[in-house]
Amino acid sequence: MKSQRTRLDRFMSRQLGIKRQAIRPIIAQGRIVVDGEVACDVQQSIHQFSHVIFDQQVIQNNRPRYVMLHKPRGVVSATKDNHHKTVVDLLDDSLDDLFDNNERDKLHIAGRLDFNSTGLILLTNDGRWSRQLSSPRNNIVKRYRVELEKPLDERYIFAFSKGMYFDYEGITTQPAQLEIISSHVSEVYLTEGRYHQIKRMFGRFQNEVLELHRLSIGALNLDPQLSPGKSRELQQREVTGIFDTGK
């Protein structure tokens, strides 16, 4: 998601429908208040969550939103789809009171899941937060439970830990951790999210993935009280705490 920061004069020019040159005297007259302080610089940075008042009228008052959803099978990880139910469609039942006006339309997905995969999905209107989650520099670990058609053995652990070369993209995946939970069930820890990555990695062993369920992103675990299709707003400690790197 692109940065939504802009200069104050550009922002007010768009909001008021006047030329940027006309904003300077307005600022000099103390008619613009940003985040509780009278603005005095045309170059002041305005972002999507800046609280802006002009002549005692609120011009912008966006609030950051962070939502955890338990994605069920058969739902598209998208905000809109002409043929299938999307994860945003699922919010209708549980979060109607949370959103004002068109806030729902501004949500995007921070980490998608395949159509038939299940588990933790995050939605937000905060592009900076979602970029931090996806940035390779932050090394955010995503944990998955995987049920397989054939039994597992130690070869899988070694192959995942070395990474695998994907010819289509011409890349080698980052090392991944695999733990064998039972004969046909494993947990996989990834720091990236290539196209169908887990299914393709197990595909090297001709072992079909029967179920793929995301348990956590960073330090944030899927709430066990959320049944499939249900969602809730994240608490502030969860929003910031997700970056506390654990395993």
Distance of alpha carbon 37 from alpha carbon 27, whole angstroms: 12
Active-site residue numbers?
Answer: 114
Structure tokens at 210: 């029967």
45 touches 39 (CB < 8 A): no
Residues in the chain: 247
d(CA 110, CA 247): 20
Chain position carrying tokens 């009280």: 225
- Quickly count: other Cβ atoms within 10 Å of residue 120's Cβ: 23
Task: Estimate to the nearest angstrom the gap between the alpha carbon of 141 and the chain centroid.
Answer: 13
